[in-house]
Structure 1
Amino acid sequence: MSAIDLHARPSADFEAKLTATRRVLQEAQVAHGAAFVTQAHSLGAEDMVVGHLIDALGLDIPAFVLETGRLHPETLALLERLRAEARRPIEVMHPREEAVVHFVAREGLDAMYRSIDLRKACCDIRKMEPLARALEGKQAWITGLRREQSGARADVPLVDRSNAERLKYNPLAEWTWGDVWHYIREHQVPYNPLHDEFFPSIGCAPCTRAISLGEDFRAGRWWWEDEAAKECGLHVAQEDDPVAVSALPISRLSPIAERSPS
Protein backbone atom coordinates (compact mmCIF):
# COMPACT_ATOMS: atom_id res chain seq x y z
CA MET A 1 0.00 0.00 0.00
CA SER A 2 1.35 3.43 -0.93
CA ALA A 3 1.67 6.34 1.48
CA ILE A 4 -1.12 8.05 -0.49
CA ASP A 5 -3.47 5.09 0.00
CA LEU A 6 -2.55 4.87 3.66
CA HIS A 7 -2.65 8.51 4.68
CA ALA A 8 -4.58 10.74 2.23
CA ARG A 9 -7.43 11.75 4.52
CA PRO A 10 -8.05 15.53 4.58
CA SER A 11 -9.32 17.18 7.73
CA ALA A 12 -12.76 18.78 7.68
CA ASP A 13 -11.31 22.29 7.45
CA PHE A 14 -8.64 21.45 4.87
CA GLU A 15 -9.78 24.10 2.38
CA ALA A 16 -9.51 26.81 5.04
CA LYS A 17 -6.01 25.61 5.92
CA LEU A 18 -5.03 25.62 2.25
CA THR A 19 -6.28 29.19 1.86
CA ALA A 20 -4.27 30.27 4.91
CA THR A 21 -1.16 28.52 3.58
CA ARG A 22 -1.39 30.27 0.24
CA ARG A 23 -1.81 33.60 2.00
CA VAL A 24 1.28 33.00 4.16
CA LEU A 25 3.41 32.16 1.12
CA GLN A 26 2.21 35.20 -0.81
CA GLU A 27 2.83 37.44 2.19
CA ALA A 28 6.38 36.06 2.52
CA GLN A 29 7.28 37.20 -0.98
CA VAL A 30 5.49 40.56 -0.70
CA ALA A 31 7.11 41.32 2.65
CA HIS A 32 10.66 40.38 1.72
CA GLY A 33 11.02 40.06 -2.03
CA ALA A 34 12.44 36.99 -3.73
CA ALA A 35 16.02 38.02 -2.96
CA PHE A 36 15.53 37.98 0.79
CA VAL A 37 13.39 34.89 1.45
CA THR A 38 14.12 31.25 0.68
CA GLN A 39 12.57 27.82 1.20
CA ALA A 40 14.50 25.25 3.24
CA HIS A 41 13.65 22.16 1.18
CA SER A 42 14.17 18.81 2.93
CA LEU A 43 12.71 16.79 0.01
CA GLY A 44 10.22 15.31 2.49
CA ALA A 45 6.50 15.17 1.75
CA GLU A 46 5.76 18.48 3.48
CA ASP A 47 8.40 20.42 1.58
CA MET A 48 7.35 18.86 -1.72
CA VAL A 49 3.87 20.28 -1.01
CA VAL A 50 5.24 23.71 -0.06
CA GLY A 51 7.39 23.77 -3.18
CA HIS A 52 4.45 22.78 -5.37
CA LEU A 53 2.36 25.58 -3.86
CA ILE A 54 5.12 28.13 -4.46
CA ASP A 55 5.29 27.07 -8.10
CA ALA A 56 1.48 26.97 -8.48
CA LEU A 57 1.17 30.49 -7.06
CA GLY A 58 3.81 31.75 -9.49
CA LEU A 59 6.03 33.01 -6.68
CA ASP A 60 9.72 33.67 -7.27
CA ILE A 61 10.88 32.26 -3.95
CA PRO A 62 14.04 30.16 -4.42
CA ALA A 63 14.87 27.05 -2.42
CA PHE A 64 17.91 25.29 -1.05
CA VAL A 65 18.57 21.65 -0.19
CA LEU A 66 21.16 20.47 2.35
CA GLU A 67 22.99 17.65 0.59
CA THR A 68 24.83 16.25 3.57
CA GLY A 69 26.78 13.57 1.71
CA ARG A 70 24.86 10.84 3.60
CA LEU A 71 21.42 11.01 1.96
CA HIS A 72 19.53 7.95 0.73
CA PRO A 73 19.81 7.15 -3.00
CA GLU A 74 16.04 7.68 -3.26
CA THR A 75 16.42 11.18 -1.83
CA LEU A 76 19.21 12.05 -4.24
CA ALA A 77 17.11 10.84 -7.18
CA LEU A 78 14.22 13.04 -6.05
CA LEU A 79 16.60 15.99 -5.76
CA GLU A 80 17.66 15.58 -9.39
CA ARG A 81 14.02 15.39 -10.49
CA LEU A 82 13.17 18.48 -8.45
CA ARG A 83 16.01 20.48 -10.01
CA ALA A 84 14.97 19.39 -13.49
CA GLU A 85 11.27 20.23 -13.08
CA ALA A 86 11.15 23.25 -10.74
CA ARG A 87 10.44 26.65 -12.25
CA ARG A 88 12.61 28.38 -9.65
CA PRO A 89 16.25 28.10 -8.55
CA ILE A 90 17.10 25.14 -6.30
CA GLU A 91 20.48 25.64 -4.64
CA VAL A 92 22.28 22.55 -3.33
CA MET A 93 24.32 23.24 -0.21
CA HIS A 94 27.17 20.85 0.60
CA PRO A 95 29.19 20.68 3.83
CA ARG A 96 32.73 22.00 3.73
CA GLU A 97 34.86 19.10 2.52
CA GLU A 98 37.78 19.84 4.85
CA ALA A 99 35.54 19.73 7.92
CA VAL A 100 33.98 16.42 6.85
CA VAL A 101 37.32 14.81 6.06
CA HIS A 102 38.84 15.83 9.39
CA PHE A 103 35.80 14.69 11.38
CA VAL A 104 35.59 11.29 9.66
CA ALA A 105 39.33 10.73 9.96
CA ARG A 106 39.24 11.43 13.68
CA GLU A 107 35.89 9.91 14.72
CA GLY A 108 34.95 7.47 11.95
CA LEU A 109 32.22 7.54 9.30
CA ASP A 110 29.45 6.38 11.66
CA ALA A 111 30.53 8.23 14.80
CA MET A 112 26.95 9.39 15.37
CA TYR A 113 26.07 6.03 16.94
CA ARG A 114 28.64 6.43 19.73
CA SER A 115 27.24 9.48 21.52
CA ILE A 116 24.77 12.34 21.23
CA ASP A 117 27.66 14.80 21.21
CA LEU A 118 29.26 13.09 18.22
CA ARG A 119 25.94 12.93 16.38
CA LYS A 120 25.35 16.62 16.97
CA ALA A 121 28.88 17.43 15.87
CA CYS A 122 28.19 15.54 12.63
CA CYS A 123 24.93 17.49 12.22
CA ASP A 124 26.79 20.74 12.82
CA ILE A 125 29.23 20.03 10.01
CA ARG A 126 26.84 18.45 7.51
CA LYS A 127 23.71 20.53 8.17
CA MET A 128 24.08 23.53 10.47
CA GLU A 129 27.08 25.18 8.82
CA PRO A 130 25.64 24.76 5.27
CA LEU A 131 22.31 26.09 6.59
CA ALA A 132 24.07 29.17 7.90
CA ARG A 133 25.54 29.83 4.46
CA ALA A 134 22.17 29.28 2.78
CA LEU A 135 20.47 31.80 5.09
CA GLU A 136 23.20 34.42 4.99
CA GLY A 137 21.69 37.76 3.97
CA LYS A 138 18.11 36.46 4.14
CA GLN A 139 15.36 38.20 6.06
CA ALA A 140 13.12 35.12 6.20
CA TRP A 141 12.93 31.42 5.42
CA ILE A 142 10.12 28.97 4.76
CA THR A 143 9.89 25.49 6.27
CA GLY A 144 7.57 22.48 6.20
CA LEU A 145 7.22 22.27 9.99
CA ARG A 146 3.87 21.02 11.31
CA ARG A 147 2.59 21.01 14.88
CA GLU A 148 1.62 17.37 14.57
CA GLN A 149 5.17 16.20 13.85
CA SER A 150 6.36 16.04 17.45
CA GLY A 151 5.84 17.40 20.93
CA ALA A 152 8.74 19.79 20.41
CA ARG A 153 6.88 21.30 17.44
CA ALA A 154 3.39 21.40 18.97
CA ASP A 155 3.39 25.19 19.22
CA VAL A 156 4.82 25.99 15.79
CA PRO A 157 3.18 29.23 14.56
CA LEU A 158 2.36 30.08 10.95
CA VAL A 159 4.87 32.93 11.25
CA ASP A 160 7.61 32.59 13.86
CA ARG A 161 8.86 36.02 14.95
CA SER A 162 10.97 34.78 17.87
CA ASN A 163 14.23 35.55 16.06
CA ALA A 164 14.71 39.31 15.74
CA GLU A 165 16.99 38.92 12.73
CA ARG A 166 15.04 36.46 10.59
CA LEU A 167 11.39 35.42 10.33
CA LYS A 168 10.47 31.78 9.86
CA TYR A 169 7.34 31.02 7.85
CA ASN A 170 5.70 27.66 8.57
CA PRO A 171 2.79 27.58 6.09
CA LEU A 172 1.83 23.97 6.91
CA ALA A 173 1.87 24.44 10.69
CA GLU A 174 -1.82 23.59 11.03
CA TRP A 175 -1.88 20.72 8.52
CA THR A 176 -2.29 17.08 9.47
CA TRP A 177 -0.34 14.24 7.87
CA GLY A 178 -3.59 13.32 6.13
CA ASP A 179 -3.83 16.86 4.70
CA VAL A 180 -0.31 16.58 3.29
CA TRP A 181 -1.04 13.34 1.48
CA HIS A 182 -4.45 14.54 0.30
CA TYR A 183 -2.72 17.47 -1.41
CA ILE A 184 -0.08 15.16 -2.90
CA ARG A 185 -2.80 12.90 -4.31
CA GLU A 186 -4.96 15.71 -5.66
CA HIS A 187 -2.08 17.50 -7.38
CA GLN A 188 0.07 14.47 -8.28
CA VAL A 189 3.06 15.88 -6.41
CA PRO A 190 6.15 13.66 -6.69
CA TYR A 191 7.51 12.32 -3.41
CA ASN A 192 10.29 10.22 -1.96
CA PRO A 193 9.44 6.50 -2.41
CA LEU A 194 10.81 5.85 1.07
CA HIS A 195 7.50 7.27 2.33
CA ASP A 196 5.86 4.16 0.87
CA GLU A 197 8.19 2.08 3.04
CA PHE A 198 7.00 3.67 6.32
CA PHE A 199 9.59 6.46 6.50
CA PRO A 200 7.47 9.49 7.50
CA SER A 201 10.52 11.57 8.42
CA ILE A 202 13.56 11.17 6.16
CA GLY A 203 17.02 12.45 6.97
CA CYS A 204 20.49 11.03 6.43
CA ALA A 205 20.62 7.31 5.65
CA PRO A 206 22.49 6.22 8.82
CA CYS A 207 20.15 8.27 11.01
CA THR A 208 16.76 7.26 9.59
CA ARG A 209 14.75 4.04 9.76
CA ALA A 210 11.20 2.96 9.01
CA ILE A 211 8.71 3.13 11.86
CA SER A 212 6.18 0.59 13.09
CA LEU A 213 2.46 1.04 13.62
CA GLY A 214 1.85 3.16 16.70
CA GLU A 215 5.34 4.68 16.87
CA ASP A 216 5.82 8.44 17.05
CA PHE A 217 6.13 10.31 13.74
CA ARG A 218 9.84 11.00 14.33
CA ALA A 219 10.65 7.69 16.02
CA GLY A 220 12.74 6.69 13.03
CA ARG A 221 15.12 9.64 13.43
CA TRP A 222 18.14 8.94 15.69
CA TRP A 223 16.17 6.03 17.13
CA TRP A 224 19.04 4.97 19.42
CA GLU A 225 18.84 8.26 21.36
CA ASP A 226 16.58 9.57 24.09
CA GLU A 227 13.34 11.05 22.75
CA ALA A 228 14.16 14.53 24.02
CA ALA A 229 17.33 14.73 21.91
CA LYS A 230 15.73 14.13 18.51
CA GLU A 231 16.52 17.42 16.80
CA CYS A 232 19.61 18.29 14.79
CA GLY A 233 19.49 22.00 15.57
CA LEU A 234 17.79 23.28 12.41
CA HIS A 235 14.54 24.05 14.24
CA VAL A 236 15.46 24.32 17.92
CA ALA A 237 13.88 27.38 19.49
CA GLN A 238 16.68 28.18 21.93
CA GLU A 239 19.18 28.68 19.13
CA ASP A 240 19.60 32.43 18.66
CA ASP A 241 20.35 32.19 14.96
CA PRO A 242 21.73 29.37 12.80
CA VAL A 243 23.90 31.86 10.93
CA ALA A 244 26.00 32.17 14.07
CA VAL A 245 27.46 28.77 13.26
CA SER A 246 29.05 30.15 10.09
CA ALA A 247 31.20 32.46 12.17
CA LEU A 248 33.01 29.50 13.72
CA PRO A 249 36.23 28.41 12.02
CA ILE A 250 36.57 24.75 11.08
CA SER A 251 38.85 24.11 14.06
CA ARG A 252 35.99 25.11 16.39
CA LEU A 253 33.48 22.90 14.59
CA SER A 254 35.45 19.76 15.28
CA PRO A 255 36.38 19.27 18.97
CA ILE A 256 33.42 17.64 20.70
CA ALA A 257 34.13 19.18 24.08
CA GLU A 258 33.71 22.67 22.66
CA ARG A 259 30.29 22.12 21.07
CA SER A 260 27.18 23.45 22.78
CA PRO A 261 23.92 21.49 22.49
CA SER A 262 22.07 22.10 19.21
Structure 2
Amino acid sequence: MNQALNATELATAYAGKSPQEILEFAFEQFGDDLWISFSGAEDVVLVDMAWKLNKNVKVFSLDTGRLHAETYRFIERVREHYGLTIEILSPDPALLQPLATEKGLFSFYKDGHGECCGIRKIEPLKRKLSTIGAWATGQRRDQSPGTRSQVAVIELDSAFSQPDKPLYKFNPLAQMTSEEVWGYIRMLEIPYNALHERGYISIGCEPCTRPVLPNQHEREGRWWWEEEAHKECGLHAGNLIAKG
Protein backbone atom coordinates (compact mmCIF):
# COMPACT_ATOMS: atom_id res chain seq x y z
CA MET A 1 0.00 0.00 0.00
CA ASN A 2 1.31 3.41 -0.93
CA GLN A 3 1.51 5.12 2.45
CA ALA A 4 1.31 8.55 0.74
CA LEU A 5 -2.36 7.82 0.17
CA ASN A 6 -4.60 7.55 3.19
CA ALA A 7 -7.86 5.66 3.40
CA THR A 8 -9.96 8.81 3.25
CA GLU A 9 -8.28 9.96 0.04
CA LEU A 10 -8.67 6.50 -1.46
CA ALA A 11 -12.35 6.37 -0.52
CA THR A 12 -12.92 9.68 -2.27
CA ALA A 13 -10.91 8.67 -5.32
CA TYR A 14 -12.78 5.37 -5.70
CA ALA A 15 -16.24 6.51 -4.62
CA GLY A 16 -17.53 6.46 -8.19
CA LYS A 17 -15.70 3.33 -9.30
CA SER A 18 -17.31 -0.03 -10.00
CA PRO A 19 -17.00 -2.90 -7.50
CA GLN A 20 -14.67 -4.66 -9.92
CA GLU A 21 -12.39 -1.62 -10.15
CA ILE A 22 -12.25 -1.38 -6.37
CA LEU A 23 -11.41 -5.08 -6.09
CA GLU A 24 -8.80 -4.80 -8.82
CA PHE A 25 -7.12 -1.97 -6.89
CA ALA A 26 -7.27 -4.03 -3.70
CA PHE A 27 -5.59 -7.01 -5.38
CA GLU A 28 -2.93 -4.75 -6.93
CA GLN A 29 -2.07 -3.31 -3.53
CA PHE A 30 -2.33 -6.37 -1.31
CA GLY A 31 -2.24 -9.49 -3.51
CA ASP A 32 -2.45 -12.62 -1.36
CA ASP A 33 -2.70 -10.48 1.76
CA LEU A 34 -6.27 -9.55 0.76
CA TRP A 35 -9.00 -11.86 2.04
CA ILE A 36 -12.68 -11.95 1.09
CA SER A 37 -15.20 -12.32 3.90
CA PHE A 38 -18.10 -14.57 2.90
CA SER A 39 -21.08 -14.87 5.22
CA GLY A 40 -23.19 -17.31 3.24
CA ALA A 41 -25.71 -14.67 2.18
CA GLU A 42 -26.01 -12.39 -0.84
CA ASP A 43 -22.36 -11.38 -0.54
CA VAL A 44 -21.74 -14.32 -2.86
CA VAL A 45 -21.71 -11.52 -5.45
CA LEU A 46 -18.46 -10.29 -3.91
CA VAL A 47 -16.96 -13.77 -4.15
CA ASP A 48 -18.02 -14.05 -7.79
CA MET A 49 -16.48 -10.69 -8.72
CA ALA A 50 -13.25 -11.39 -6.84
CA TRP A 51 -12.88 -14.88 -8.30
CA LYS A 52 -13.25 -13.55 -11.83
CA LEU A 53 -10.33 -11.20 -11.16
CA ASN A 54 -8.20 -13.69 -9.28
CA LYS A 55 -8.87 -17.43 -9.45
CA ASN A 56 -6.65 -17.90 -6.39
CA VAL A 57 -8.61 -15.44 -4.28
CA LYS A 58 -8.49 -16.15 -0.56
CA VAL A 59 -11.85 -16.49 1.17
CA PHE A 60 -12.85 -17.05 4.78
CA SER A 61 -16.18 -17.67 6.46
CA LEU A 62 -17.21 -17.60 10.11
CA ASP A 63 -18.81 -20.78 11.41
CA THR A 64 -20.47 -19.80 14.66
CA GLY A 65 -21.78 -23.30 15.21
CA ARG A 66 -25.33 -21.91 15.07
CA LEU A 67 -25.85 -21.34 11.35
CA HIS A 68 -28.85 -22.67 9.42
CA ALA A 69 -28.38 -26.02 7.71
CA GLU A 70 -29.10 -24.21 4.44
CA THR A 71 -26.20 -21.85 5.05
CA TYR A 72 -23.74 -24.69 5.60
CA ARG A 73 -24.93 -26.33 2.38
CA PHE A 74 -24.65 -23.03 0.54
CA ILE A 75 -21.07 -22.44 1.67
CA GLU A 76 -20.22 -25.90 0.36
CA ARG A 77 -21.96 -25.19 -2.96
CA VAL A 78 -19.92 -22.00 -3.37
CA ARG A 79 -16.71 -23.87 -2.59
CA GLU A 80 -17.49 -26.46 -5.25
CA HIS A 81 -18.90 -24.01 -7.81
CA TYR A 82 -15.76 -21.86 -7.86
CA GLY A 83 -13.23 -24.50 -6.91
CA LEU A 84 -12.26 -22.39 -3.91
CA THR A 85 -10.63 -23.22 -0.64
CA ILE A 86 -12.79 -21.48 1.96
CA GLU A 87 -11.11 -21.12 5.33
CA ILE A 88 -13.66 -21.81 8.05
CA LEU A 89 -13.14 -19.84 11.27
CA SER A 90 -14.53 -21.41 14.45
CA PRO A 91 -14.98 -20.12 18.00
CA ASP A 92 -12.37 -20.86 20.64
CA PRO A 93 -13.72 -23.81 22.69
CA ALA A 94 -12.02 -22.42 25.81
CA LEU A 95 -14.29 -19.38 25.58
CA LEU A 96 -17.40 -21.02 24.17
CA GLN A 97 -17.70 -23.96 26.56
CA PRO A 98 -18.01 -21.87 29.76
CA LEU A 99 -20.69 -19.69 28.15
CA ALA A 100 -22.73 -22.69 27.03
CA THR A 101 -22.26 -24.51 30.34
CA GLU A 102 -23.00 -21.60 32.64
CA LYS A 103 -25.68 -19.77 30.65
CA GLY A 104 -27.05 -22.39 28.28
CA LEU A 105 -27.46 -22.16 24.53
CA PHE A 106 -29.94 -19.29 24.35
CA SER A 107 -28.65 -16.75 26.86
CA PHE A 108 -28.79 -14.02 24.22
CA TYR A 109 -32.59 -13.88 24.46
CA LYS A 110 -32.17 -12.60 28.04
CA ASP A 111 -28.74 -10.96 28.03
CA GLY A 112 -28.60 -9.54 24.51
CA HIS A 113 -26.54 -10.85 21.62
CA GLY A 114 -23.28 -9.08 22.50
CA GLU A 115 -21.65 -11.76 24.63
CA CYS A 116 -22.50 -14.64 22.32
CA CYS A 117 -21.47 -12.75 19.18
CA GLY A 118 -18.26 -11.72 20.91
CA ILE A 119 -17.27 -15.34 21.41
CA ARG A 120 -18.71 -16.91 18.27
CA LYS A 121 -17.93 -14.12 15.78
CA ILE A 122 -15.69 -11.32 17.01
CA GLU A 123 -12.92 -13.38 18.62
CA PRO A 124 -12.40 -15.70 15.61
CA LEU A 125 -12.54 -12.72 13.24
CA LYS A 126 -10.09 -10.70 15.31
CA ARG A 127 -7.76 -13.69 15.38
CA LYS A 128 -7.86 -13.92 11.58
CA LEU A 129 -7.60 -10.21 10.85
CA SER A 130 -4.51 -9.89 13.04
CA THR A 131 -2.62 -11.97 10.46
CA ILE A 132 -3.57 -10.10 7.26
CA GLY A 133 -3.24 -6.66 5.71
CA ALA A 134 -6.66 -6.15 4.17
CA TRP A 135 -10.11 -7.68 3.88
CA ALA A 136 -13.11 -7.13 1.65
CA THR A 137 -16.70 -7.39 2.80
CA GLY A 138 -20.12 -7.46 1.17
CA GLN A 139 -21.44 -4.51 3.19
CA ARG A 140 -23.90 -2.24 1.40
CA ARG A 141 -25.27 1.13 2.42
CA ASP A 142 -28.86 0.06 1.88
CA GLN A 143 -28.58 -2.85 4.34
CA SER A 144 -29.01 -0.72 7.44
CA PRO A 145 -30.00 2.96 7.50
CA GLY A 146 -28.86 3.18 11.11
CA THR A 147 -25.32 1.84 10.80
CA ARG A 148 -24.27 1.31 7.18
CA SER A 149 -25.60 4.30 5.26
CA GLN A 150 -22.19 5.99 5.31
CA VAL A 151 -20.02 2.94 4.58
CA ALA A 152 -16.99 3.95 2.51
CA VAL A 153 -15.74 1.80 -0.34
CA ILE A 154 -12.24 1.88 1.19
CA GLU A 155 -11.44 2.54 4.84
CA LEU A 156 -8.93 1.99 7.58
CA ASP A 157 -10.57 -0.55 9.85
CA SER A 158 -11.03 1.41 13.07
CA ALA A 159 -12.20 -1.64 14.99
CA PHE A 160 -9.49 -4.18 14.15
CA SER A 161 -6.38 -2.23 13.16
CA GLN A 162 -3.44 -2.64 15.52
CA PRO A 163 -1.21 0.27 16.62
CA ASP A 164 1.74 -1.08 14.66
CA LYS A 165 -0.23 -2.74 11.86
CA PRO A 166 -3.00 -0.89 10.01
CA LEU A 167 -5.76 -3.02 8.54
CA TYR A 168 -7.47 -1.84 5.37
CA LYS A 169 -11.06 -2.70 4.66
CA PHE A 170 -12.68 -2.70 1.23
CA ASN A 171 -16.44 -2.58 0.75
CA PRO A 172 -16.75 -2.89 -3.04
CA LEU A 173 -20.54 -3.43 -2.97
CA ALA A 174 -21.21 -0.41 -0.76
CA GLN A 175 -23.06 1.52 -3.43
CA MET A 176 -25.00 -1.41 -4.87
CA THR A 177 -28.67 -1.78 -3.99
CA SER A 178 -30.40 -5.01 -3.06
CA GLU A 179 -32.15 -4.89 -6.42
CA GLU A 180 -28.82 -4.61 -8.25
CA VAL A 181 -27.32 -7.46 -6.23
CA TRP A 182 -30.19 -9.77 -7.04
CA GLY A 183 -30.15 -8.68 -10.66
CA TYR A 184 -26.50 -9.77 -10.76
CA ILE A 185 -27.29 -13.12 -9.09
CA ARG A 186 -30.14 -13.90 -11.47
CA MET A 187 -28.43 -12.69 -14.62
CA LEU A 188 -25.29 -14.74 -14.03
CA GLU A 189 -27.15 -17.63 -12.37
CA ILE A 190 -24.71 -17.84 -9.48
CA PRO A 191 -25.53 -19.89 -6.36
CA TYR A 192 -27.54 -18.35 -3.54
CA ASN A 193 -28.75 -19.42 -0.12
CA ALA A 194 -32.06 -21.29 -0.30
CA LEU A 195 -33.28 -19.32 2.74
CA HIS A 196 -33.75 -16.30 0.49
CA GLU A 197 -36.68 -18.13 -1.10
CA ARG A 198 -38.38 -18.29 2.30
CA GLY A 199 -38.38 -14.60 3.14
CA TYR A 200 -34.94 -14.36 4.72
CA ILE A 201 -32.94 -11.35 3.53
CA SER A 202 -30.25 -10.69 6.13
CA ILE A 203 -29.02 -14.12 7.18
CA GLY A 204 -27.08 -14.77 10.37
CA CYS A 205 -27.29 -17.46 13.05
CA GLU A 206 -30.42 -19.60 13.12
CA PRO A 207 -31.72 -18.53 16.56
CA CYS A 208 -31.17 -14.85 15.80
CA THR A 209 -32.54 -14.60 12.26
CA ARG A 210 -36.07 -14.71 10.97
CA PRO A 211 -37.87 -13.81 7.73
CA VAL A 212 -39.12 -10.25 7.34
CA LEU A 213 -42.59 -9.14 6.39
CA PRO A 214 -43.41 -6.98 3.37
CA ASN A 215 -42.13 -3.41 3.85
CA GLN A 216 -39.98 -4.38 6.82
CA HIS A 217 -36.31 -3.50 6.51
CA GLU A 218 -34.02 -6.52 6.16
CA ARG A 219 -32.17 -5.87 9.44
CA GLU A 220 -35.47 -6.13 11.32
CA GLY A 221 -35.10 -9.87 10.92
CA ARG A 222 -31.99 -9.83 13.15
CA TRP A 223 -32.10 -9.82 16.98
CA TRP A 224 -35.76 -8.76 16.78
CA TRP A 225 -36.30 -9.19 20.55
CA GLU A 226 -33.93 -6.30 21.29
CA GLU A 227 -34.85 -2.64 21.23
CA GLU A 228 -31.34 -1.66 20.13
CA ALA A 229 -31.54 0.43 16.98
CA HIS A 230 -28.02 -0.39 15.81
CA LYS A 231 -28.34 -3.95 14.54
CA GLU A 232 -24.65 -4.89 14.34
CA CYS A 233 -22.95 -7.88 15.93
CA GLY A 234 -19.52 -6.26 16.07
CA LEU A 235 -17.99 -7.59 12.85
CA HIS A 236 -18.36 -4.08 11.47
CA ALA A 237 -18.01 -2.24 14.75
CA GLY A 238 -16.34 0.63 12.92
CA ASN A 239 -19.78 1.57 11.62
CA LEU A 240 -20.94 2.26 15.16
CA ILE A 241 -17.74 4.14 15.97
CA ALA A 242 -18.32 6.30 12.90
CA LYS A 243 -21.91 6.94 13.96
CA GLY A 244 -20.80 7.96 17.43
TM-score (norm. length: structure 2):
0.85
Pairwise CA distance, 1:54: 1.2
CA distance in 1, matches of 2:182, 2:236: 23
CA distance in 2, matches of 1:101, 1:162: 30
The one-letter amino acid paired with 1:161 is L
1:30/1:207 Cα in 2 relative to 1: closer, same or farther (>3 Å)?
same
Pairwise CA distance, 1:86: 2.5
Q: Deviations over 1:218-244 (max 9, x none)?
A: 00000011142421100021788xxxx
CA distance in 1, matches of 2:110, 2:79: 35
1:54/1:238 Cα in 2 relative to 1: closer, same or farther (>3 Å)?
closer
* Correspondence for 1:127 among 111, 121, 136: 121
Alignment of 1:90 with 2:86, yes or no, is yes
Q: Structure 1 regions of 5+ residues with no counterpart?
A: 1-16, 241-262
* Correspondence for 1:155 among 127, 150, 166: 150
The one-letter amino acid paired with 1:144 is G
- The alignment partner of 1:43 has SS state of coil
Pairwise CA distance, 1:84: 2.2
CA distance in 2, matches of 1:90, 1:58: 14
2:10 maps to none
Which structure would you say has the larger RCO, counting Cα contacts within 8 Å and 6 or more residues apart?
1
Pairwise CA distance, 1:111: 0.5
CA distance in 1, matches of 2:30, 2:153: 16
Bigger mean CA offset, 157-166 vs 138-147: 157-166
CA distance in 1, matches of 2:96, 2:194: 28
Aligned pair count reads 220
Once the two structures are superposed, the pairs formed by residues 77-226 of structure 1 within 5 Å of their partners are 77-116=73-112, 119-151=113-145, 152-161=147-156, 163=158, 165-226=166-227
| Percentage identity across paired residues of the two chains | 38
Tell me the C-alpha RMSD between the 2 structures.
1.9
1:55, 1:87 within 8 Å by CA — same for their partners in 2? no
1:13 maps to none
Q: Structure 2 regions of 5+ residues with no counterpart?
A: 1-14
The one-letter amino acid paired with 1:215 is Q
- The alignment partner of 2:229 has SS state of helix
* Correspondence for 1:43 among 37, 40, 48: 40
2:21 maps to 23
Bigger mean CA offset, 119-128 vs 52-61: 52-61
1:26, 1:59 within 8 Å by CA — same for their partners in 2? no
1:203/1:58 Cα in 2 relative to 1: closer, same or farther (>3 Å)?
same
CA distance in 2, matches of 1:59, 1:141: 17
Pairwise CA distance, 1:18: 10
* Correspondence for 2:64 among 63, 68, 71: 68
CA distance in 2, matches of 1:86, 1:32: 22
1:147, 1:174 within 8 Å by CA — same for their partners in 2? yes
The one-letter amino acid paired with 2:111 is S
The one-letter amino acid paired with 1:160 is E
